[in-house]
Structure 1
Amino acid sequence: MSRPEILFPLFADLETLDGVGPKTAQNLGQLGVATPRDLLFTLPHSGVDRALRDTIQGAVFPITLTVKVKVGTHQPSRNRGGAYRIHVEDSTTSFLLVFFHGRSDYLNKVLPEGAERVVSGRVEMFDGIANMVHPDHIVPVEEAGDIPRFEPTYPLTGGVTQKTMFKATRSALTRMPVLEEWIDPGQVEQANWIGFDVAMAKAHAPTQQDDLAVTDPSRTRLAYDELLAHQLTLALARASERRTSGQISLGTERLQARVRADLPYKATGAQDRAIAEIAADMAEPTRMNRLLQGDVGAGKTLVAFMALLIAVEAGGQGVMMAPTEILARQHLEGLQPLAESAGVVLDILTGRDKGAERRAKLAALAAGDIQILVGTHAVFQADVEFRDLRLGVVDEQHRFGVRQRLALGKKGAAADVLVMTATPIPRSLALAQYGDMDVSVLDEKPPGRKPIKTALVSTGRMDEVVARLQAVMAEGRQCYWVCPLVEESEIVDLTAAEERFKHLRAALGEGCVGLVHGQMPPAEKDAAMARFQAGETGVLVATTVIEVGVNVPNATIMVIERAETFGLAQLHQLRGRVGRGDAASTCLLMYQVPLSDAGQKRLEVLRETEDGFVIAETDLAMRGFGDLIGTAQSGVPRFNIADLEKQGALMSVAQSDARKLLQDDPKLTSQRGKAARVLLWLMRQDEAIRLISVG
């Protein structure tokens, strides 16, 4: 499939635009602009009010002003490159026009003494006199209408001026074809949106400051076009994945009922709902691709285990994978009692399994004697074969790429996939990142979880905190002490952690303080964690490597040093390491004074709520989209116009619009479907176009 002809003008060479030569075209590349289309998607970010005024008097300098002046005497500069000054008068006062490297012949022609001109530019005070240095516009009075009343300001890069951008975008706008509407007619009518071409022209010709806001109707329409193209791509990926035939795994509820009967508590409504959604997916002949999102302690393990039991009830096997050996062993401990209630065979496979022991496990897997396997990446090795793998549960999405999800699928002829994440993600982000998946959210806490008390303490009260740890340890309880991330440099982090370790060891006693950090060999790290899990050490000093998910029910205090340097989501995750047993737990957020307003607000949000979703939304609002996900999580698209913080709600409208369009017209052959194909080409979603042509 090739790009539709109607879009050719927008994907032509930049040099076909007015005022763009080879050098400018090369410079525009720095802004990510390679075609007229890219230029159109580079909207002005601010604007300059150039409405004509009578006088500069009374203005607050520095400011850009447009006034009619009478030209007075010229004062050429005495040395080369010095200031050439021209005295001018408006209706009330006088000021200077200043030109560096000014040439007399040129300036006498443009600003002849005694003539009237309209000038527009930035006016600043210098030695008590108002100066307009290098006016942006100098025109005869009758041409004053040529100066835009409100001039858009574009992002620039070396070698590209505002004038060049203005001229080039005007030229690109003349290439704008009239395109068929790709948005659902009901949505267009309800939002009262204008057509794409009109919206684009208006977005480049703001007439006032309000036209530059995210909420401006033309900009909202263009943002929606971007989000719709993105959601169409994800919906096509989802549809193509759904066409991959899976296996029908019908649960009988026989084993699940045994587990429910043995549980000391009743499952929450959210857990029951998630289990029902998973069971319905697994009963379908297409592959399940579902994300299970739950806050710390929302009971994901139970839901995942019930899903694994459905695979077993249907006569197959299930596997649960964790990113590290520690977490895999922990899953094993958590699932063991449930497996005993259900009467199923559960085993673990990690890199540690060697020789005869490993061979025996592989044989049992291939024969179907091991019904549920817990493992690490070792599960992906070529010699690992299942008799009938029906479901793969993947813990902590960001450690397992899509590639591993696919590798898992190869182990079972189209095994269903359930991805679990303990990171509450704001809804707009979840849709951007996981829009190809179906999402189940656990938004209730199981009964009996005690709230964690969160307190803010300044680093000046360090001694009180250490005394508190002594008291808690005397009662046989344990504590975590998380050290700050000083720099991105691990060496500096290490020093901080080692210093704190020595200080606490001196205060609390030799044998009762352990240390884990990122520079340790994995075996040492595992050993230190194991000692803490076994209760041999009372305090564990750590950089943030206490992996998501470490489970030590006896730990009741979490101290986070320099808490203001951490992100909210990370603080929430760390706090979730305590409060896992039956004793009351506390999280102490230690901050260094003075605390910035933003820092204080962040820590107070944590003190006030334990709801990870509320915290995630606050984090998004405070830190912004780019910071929140960091560049590392490249799974999230970059949008030119759409702003996910402020337009998150548009994303969910785009998702249902895209899914409905594909449901009604899977091949995009209707009139609107064809328009949607043009949108995908326009938004450079070539991947998506390939998916249509394959499908």
Structure 2
Amino acid sequence: MSTRPEPLFPLFAGLETLAGVGPKTAQHFAGLGVLAPRDLLFTLPQSGIDRRLIDTIEGAPFPATLTVAVTIGKHAPPRNKTGAYRIQVSDRNTAFQLVFFHARGDYWQRQLPEGSRRIVSGRVEVFDNIPQMVHPDFIVPEAEADSIPRFEPVYPLTHGVTQKLMYKATRGAVALIPQMGEWIDPSQLAKEAWPDFASAVASAHDPASLSDISAAAPARMRLAYDELLAHQITLALARQVERRKKGRALHPTGVLQDKVLKSLPYKPTGAQRRAISEIIADMATDQRMNRLLQGDVGAGKTLVAFMALLAAVEAGGQGVLMAPTEILARQHLQGLQPLAESAGVVLEILTGRDKGGERAAKLHALERGDIHVLVGTHAVFQETVVFHDLRLAVVDEQHRFGVRQRLELGRKGRHADVLVMTATPIPRSLALAQYGDMDVSVLDEKPPGRKPIQTVLISTDRYEEVTERLRAAMAEGRQCYWVCPLVEESEVSDLTAAEERFKRLRAVLGEGMVGLVHGQMPPADKDAAMAAFQRGETKLLVATTVIEVGVDVPNASIMVIERAESFGLAQLHQLRGRVGRGSAASSCLLMYQNPLTETGRQRLEVLRETEDGFVIAETDLKMRGTGDLIGTAQSGVPRFRVADLEKQAALMAVAQSDARKLLNDDPTLDSARGRAARLLLWLMRQDEAIRLISVG
């Protein structure tokens, strides 16, 4: 199965195999992400031009693209070299002009002799009260009327690729589709009345009207579903491979967990208790756990994860908690140390900073089993890190890791369970796209005692007022964040740079009071600035979005976000969650630059109305789309060519259950439908999935 099936060879050959495409043009096509004929199948028209024949242009709403039969009248050649060549023509009711530039000699006299009949199609505009069609797209004898498409598809283009070329190349690619079996569940196909794959591709490239171009057109729905299904089969295979790996049934005693629960000053929420029991039930089976713990900012994920780590220790094993940065790893250590002490558990940290003898001592203790729970950065991936008996790996802030890294981590322990935590509330359709291989626990309640955060919209014109407000808060001993959109002042952008803002605020509020962190700083400087803020030595921290994830300073109670309109809602929500962690009433100032667009204002008002991250994420998805939502490039959300996750969220859920059922009934994909599904995986370039089948 690890070689591409022969019927698909032509679709994956070079583009030069298509008529009219040479090596140079093939290079141009790469600008559209088109590398093989297969990619043209999924490069669909984005709009269309109605070229149905009409009797007359009289009364048409100009400018418009029109197709009409005309009688050729008088020619008026240009008076000078740069002038226009004009030809009078008349349709059934009215007269207009055809206009050509750069006409040579008597070319048009020969092509369009006076008195002849032609069908012309092109854009008609009015100049000096005379309708003109400049350089018609089509001029054909009446007998060849059928050579003009009635509804011409309009494709996305790139430098060096014209509509004509695109039209011809896509037709060539469609002709290469081989006979294939059906991979969609028959009842789903019947219910939706979708065409088969080849017919769907052909009709998506040959729309008869604008409605055939919408996402709801049956041919497009079918192709979107094919993409989603291939993606979900890949995730379901990854899940199956994980599950086939034997886990080890854990038998925790509950003793350590009880000690920690008794030491807490509050009772866990219902959602926390539910998540803990789901996770521990998963760990008790002999299958590998592969679970996502999704919770809003401040929903108490860390406690849930620590309970799971304690369960691993109670069963005689070890646990590891991995964070994306050293700052976060140290923060987890500080937060968990008192809990570990109350349970008598040995907690240690391992980061890239540990060197020499100290590092060697930690590694020995880990291998002997003297360290029960290890907190670390991805430094724990290294070959030299060996556990005595790793039972559970917890990964914090998932969207920094993809499916591949999750598999990597599981290899560290014999059959270690994996729990992933994310503080980014993700709408269900995206959660399925990104984590379809995992089971999910959701924390949807806030722990008691979290104070609501007052959110205010304020224009950047009131900058002085805001700095005065900060000065007053700092005088009372409170701490504040100031988040800037970009780092260096760039020509193209008027977003204020962090360095500039830092200098201005330091001048106003006092030298030693203001700290700075941004992504381009050396890690040691960044850590030092964060640590000074955590210790309360600096009162105001000017930062880029590096503070979005996880930094915990309970004394910080004001968050200023400059140019808030340039951030995603989910990101603003994450940033706002950095305050409101202590006993003081907290506020978040969203500073926007006038004039704010209507949608810009609506988006920011959503934040003022609610602190529910899931509501905010759904709104963000509707208003901005997937790509922006979690910065697609680094998020692990696949890019689909036809499927639209916002408009077709429901299809994703169907594709997930269909894919899981298919693999449940036919784990090796050897039935007729299973073999068709293998072709689909090849067709959709899901090489990872194909590897998983052959591994399986």
Q: Same fold (TM over 0.5)?
A: yes
Say if 1:681 and 1:547 are closer, same or farther in 2 by CA, change over 3 A. Answer: closer
Give the distance between the partners of 1:7 and 1:286, measured in 2 at CA.
Answer: 37
Cα distance, 1:78 vs structure 2: 4.5
Give the distance between the partners of 1:26 and 1:573, measured in 2 at CA.
Answer: 42
What is residue 221 of structure 1 aligned with on the other side?
A: 222
Moved more, 652-661 or 124-133: 124-133
Give the distance between the partners of 1:106 and 1:493, measured in 2 at CA.
Answer: 54
Say if 1:8 and 1:629 are closer, same or farther in 2 by CA, change over 3 A. Answer: same
- Equivalent residues of 1:123, 1:132 under 8 A apart: yes
Q: What TM-score do you get using the length of structure 1 for normalisation? A: 0.93
The SS at the match of 2:642 is coil
Q: What letter corresponds to residue 617 of structure 1 in structure 2?
A: E
Give the distance between the partners of 2:260 and 2:492, measured in 1 at CA.
Answer: 48
**Are 2:66 and 1:65 equivalent residues in the alignment?**
yes
Say if 1:642 and 1:452 are closer, same or farther in 2 by CA, change over 3 A. Answer: same
Give the distance between the partners of 1:249 and 1:429, measured in 2 at CA.
Answer: 32
For 1:476-495, list aligned pairs within 5 A. 476-485=477-486
- Equivalent residues of 2:486, 2:495 under 8 A apart: no
Of all paired residues, the percent bearing the same amino acid is 75
Give the distance between the partners of 2:167 and 2:566, measured in 1 at CA.
Answer: 42
Deviation digits for residues 13-64 of structure 1 (CA, Å, limit 9, x no counterpart): 5455454455544543443334433222221111101122222122232210
Moved more, 431-440 or 219-228: 431-440
Give the distance between the partners of 1:523 and 1:21, measured in 2 at CA.
Answer: 53
Give the distance between the partners of 1:176 and 1:382, measured in 2 at CA.
Answer: 47
Moved more, 527-536 or 15-24: 15-24
**Are 2:350 and 1:349 equivalent residues in the alignment?**
yes
Q: What letter corresponds to residue 535 of structure 2 in structure 1?
A: A
Say if 1:494 and 1:27 are closer, same or farther in 2 by CA, change over 3 A. Answer: closer
Deviation digits for residues 526-585 of structure 1 (CA, Å, limit 9, x no counterpart): 233222222233222223332511111111111122222222222111110101112221
Deviation digits for residues 418-471 of structure 1 (CA, Å, limit 9, x no counterpart): 121212222222222222232222222122211111001122223332332233
- Equivalent residues of 1:494, 1:519 under 8 A apart: no
Say if 1:510 and 1:392 are closer, same or farther in 2 by CA, change over 3 A. Answer: same
**Are 2:417 and 1:416 equivalent residues in the alignment?**
yes
Say if 1:555 and 1:171 are closer, same or farther in 2 by CA, change over 3 A. Answer: closer
**Are 2:359 and 1:340 equivalent residues in the alignment?**
no
For 1:326-405, list aligned pairs within 5 A. 326-400=327-401, 405=406
- Equivalent residues of 1:81, 1:102 under 8 A apart: no
For 1:541-690, list aligned pairs within 5 A. 541-546=542-547, 548-630=549-631, 632-633=633-634, 635-690=636-691
The SS at the match of 1:636 is coil
Q: CA RMSD in A?
A: 2.7
Q: Count how many residue pairs are aligned between Structure 1 and Structure 2.
A: 695
Q: Which runs of 5+ in 1 are unaligned?
A: none
The SS at the match of 1:640 is coil
The SS at the match of 2:4 is coil
Moved more, 170-179 or 554-563: 170-179
Cα distance, 1:280 vs structure 2: 2.7
Cα distance, 1:608 vs structure 2: 1.1
The SS at the match of 2:547 is coil
Moved more, 414-423 or 580-589: 414-423
- Equivalent residues of 1:122, 1:135 under 8 A apart: yes
Cα distance, 1:214 vs structure 2: 0.8
- Equivalent residues of 2:400, 2:635 under 8 A apart: no
The SS at the match of 1:687 is helix
Give the distance between the partners of 1:9 and 1:592, measured in 2 at CA.
Answer: 53
The SS at the match of 1:688 is helix
Cα distance, 1:636 vs structure 2: 2.6
Say if 1:72 and 1:486 are closer, same or farther in 2 by CA, change over 3 A. Answer: farther
Say if 1:584 and 1:237 are closer, same or farther in 2 by CA, change over 3 A. Answer: same
- Equivalent residues of 1:516, 1:541 under 8 A apart: yes
Cα distance, 1:661 vs structure 2: 0.5
Cα distance, 1:261 vs structure 2: 3.1
- Equivalent residues of 1:505, 1:513 under 8 A apart: yes
Say if 1:543 and 1:147 are closer, same or farther in 2 by CA, change over 3 A. Answer: closer
Say if 1:102 and 1:351 are closer, same or farther in 2 by CA, change over 3 A. Answer: closer
Cα distance, 1:352 vs structure 2: 4.0
Moved more, 636-645 or 650-659: 636-645
What is residue 290 of structure 2 aligned with on the other side?
A: 289
What is residue 251 of structure 1 aligned with on the other side?
A: 252
The SS at the match of 1:632 is helix
Deviation digits for residues 473-501 of structure 1 (CA, Å, limit 9, x no counterpart): 34332222223326686999998434444
Give the distance between the partners of 1:661 and 1:589, measured in 2 at CA.
Answer: 48
The SS at the match of 1:582 is coil
**Are 2:214 and 1:196 equivalent residues in the alignment?**
no
Deviation digits for residues 281-315 of structure 1 (CA, Å, limit 9, x no counterpart): 32233322222221100111011101101111111
The SS at the match of 1:183 is coil
Give the distance between the partners of 2:622 and 2:251, measured in 1 at CA.
Answer: 43
The SS at the match of 1:256 is helix
Say if 1:458 and 1:310 are closer, same or farther in 2 by CA, change over 3 A. Answer: same
Moved more, 80-89 or 402-411: 402-411
**Are 2:517 and 1:516 equivalent residues in the alignment?**
yes
